[in-house]
Copies of this chain bind each other. A is one copy, B any other.
Amino acid sequence: MNILPDWLSHYRRSALAGDLTAGIIVTVMLIPQSLAYALLAGLPPEMGLYASILPIVAYALFGSSMTLAVGPVAVASLMTASALQPLAAAGSAHYISLAITLSLLSGGMLLLFGLLRLGFLAHFLSHPVISGFISGSAVLIAVGQLKHLLGVSASGHSALDTLLSLARHLPDVNTVTLAIGASSLLFLWAARKYLARLLLALGLSAKLADVLGKLAPMLAVVVSTAVVAWWRLDSTAGVSVVGAVPQGLPALALPSLQGVGVLLLPALLISLVGFVESVSVAQSLALKRQQRINPNRELLGLGAANIASAFSGGFPVTGGFARSVVNFAAGANTPLAGVVSAVLMGAVIAAMTGLFHYLPHAVLAATIIIAVTSLIDLETLREAWHYDKADAVSLLATAAGVIAFGVEAGIVLGVALSLGTLVWRSSHPHIAVVGRVPGTEHFRNVERHAVDTEPGLIALRVDEGLYFANASLLQDRIEALVAAQPETRQVLLVCSAVNLVDTTALGVLTELERSLHARGIAFALSEVKGPVMDRLQATPLGQRLQGRIFLSTHEAFSQAQQRTDG
């Protein structure tokens, strides 16, 4: 058995140049992001760096995507903060220990889901719910960062709360901090909007221009750090800076299992959301190169990454959208690009953490705000609004839930709404009276198509499995149709769309058949699917219906016609 991953044992030398370039570029992007997301998670900056070394290597060994860039990301960091803030003071030793435990739990769950091949669980998060969740989280994150931009302290349980608290603290604004924050924000915004275009105009290739455009945050970090350090703005003007970051590689340590109970639900939600986010990025990148992603392998890869994060003093990580796209565009061919990043990050933390001392928090906040605004996804909302209002409502409710009540309540609300919509729809099925499309053996809705019907025969198609929540509705509809057409001698239920008849519906159909029979009306079925038929045959209703279950609606109509003619 080959214990090396496939990409490594078959590594082609031709892939090396791309992997090296991508690894270097991603590192330059990763340094400010890892510091910023640690800040967002309420953790000391070095934990962001720790979470960007071993987890990448672990994913490279176990994951299935060639180009996914794993590490701290905005939404998982927000979810970490939201899970831990009720339990301990942000930044305290207990808080740090809980973050590490959360990463361990989340990794363990992902690994377990991968081993049990439960990758499909992610499908229970619908696309609109995920989109609403991420957009809502982005708003929550951006609002939460404003205090760093203004240099004030403010807090709140919801976005509105935080804004009100900010408004109250407006008189305390640190103008120097605000100047640094606002100019960074403006620079990053302009860089995102114009830098790539400018570089293109200067004669760079489109790809290179695009990749270099993503390095603007590093430039902002370097310049602002230099400015603060030169004028010692931290002591002279009270600008909040990162301060001393411990130097040296993270020590490997057994994570504590304290607080496991209360962290189970947050860990589950972080795992699921992180997995879904990560797989969708990995899948869309893989499709561009005709590669395949294995969801169960992804679970193992992300699980290993989070466990590695926990053992090396990090916090929950997953595949990030922006970094993966840059990794892909910069020419990454294999996970070696990630390993290159990890080695470079290791070098940074081993020798260069002193460089971050004067890095102002306001710049990190600006980086976060610019990064998350690109996560706000109005396109899916627009599409859903035009295509399916119920999905649009789920999306908006999830986003509103996140903004008003926090990430956990928001996602639970979203899932409940999307499942509720599903059940609601199936409890109100579309029921159509059908007739024959002239000259064919095909049957369609009498209200939508010019079709022929048979006197004395009501043929109706119910477009849903029959179960407890809709069986009585079908019964009422049939009774109403029969009452309106007293000449009815046969009721034919076209079962082409009936995928299920549960015990309750079986009872209702049995009663319906008896009641129609008592009035001299025959009840018949057509196009009953194999799995439904298998179960129906053994029941009393199945016995009574013998000879009245037709393979096709055509057969049923032909027989009814013969009876009328004869």
Chain A interface residues (CB < 8 Å from chain B): 120, 123-129, 287, 380, 383-384, 386-388, 391, 418-419, 422-423, 425-427, 429-430, 432, 437, 440-442, 444-445, 448, 463-465, 467-473, 496-500, 502-504, 506-507, 511, 515, 527, 529-531, 535, 538-539, 551-552, 554
Contacts and interface: CB of A to CB of B under 8 A. Distances in A.
B442 A552 contact: yes
Tallying the copies of this chain within the complex gives 2
Contacts of A506: 387-388
Contact of A127 (B120, B444, B448, B507): B507
Given A120-B472, A391-B502, A391-B504, 17 more contacts: A120-B427, A123-B472, A123-B473, A124-B427, A125-B468, A126-B468, A127-B507, A128-B503, A129-B468, A387-B503, A418-B468, A419-B423, A422-B423, A426-B426, A463-B529, A463-B531, A496-B527
Contacts of A470: 123
12 contacts: A120-B472, A124-B423, A125-B468, A126-B504, A287-B515, A391-B503, A419-B423, A426-B465, A426-B499, A430-B499, A441-B554, A448-B530
Q: A384, A445, A500, A527: which has the most chain B beta carbons within 10 Å?
A: A500
A120 B473 contact: yes
A464 B467 CA distance: 14
A447 to B, nearest CB: 8
Contacts of A127: 468, 503-504, 507
Contact of A503 (B388, B467, B515, B531): B388
A16 to B, nearest CB: 29
B124 A429 contact: no
Contacts of A511: 287
Contacts of A538: 386-387
A126 B427 CA distance: 12
A442 B443 CA distance: 11
A79 to B, nearest CB: 21
Contacts of A467: 126, 422
A380 B539 CA distance: 13
Contacts of A123: 427, 468-473
A429 to B, nearest CB: 7
Contact of A499 (B427, B464, B554): B464
Nearest to A531: B430
Contacts of A430: 499, 529-531
Contacts of A429: 499
A468 B380 CA distance: 14
Top 5 nearest A-B pairs (CB, nearest first) are: A126-B468, A127-B504, A441-B441, A391-B503, A463-B499
A529 B430 CA distance: 10
A388 B440 contact: no
Contacts of A125: 468
Interface-centre pick from A123, A429, A506 (highest chain B CB count, 10 A)? A123
Contacts of A128: 503-504
Contacts of A386: 538
Contact of A387 (B468, B496, B497, B539): B539
Nearest to A283: B511
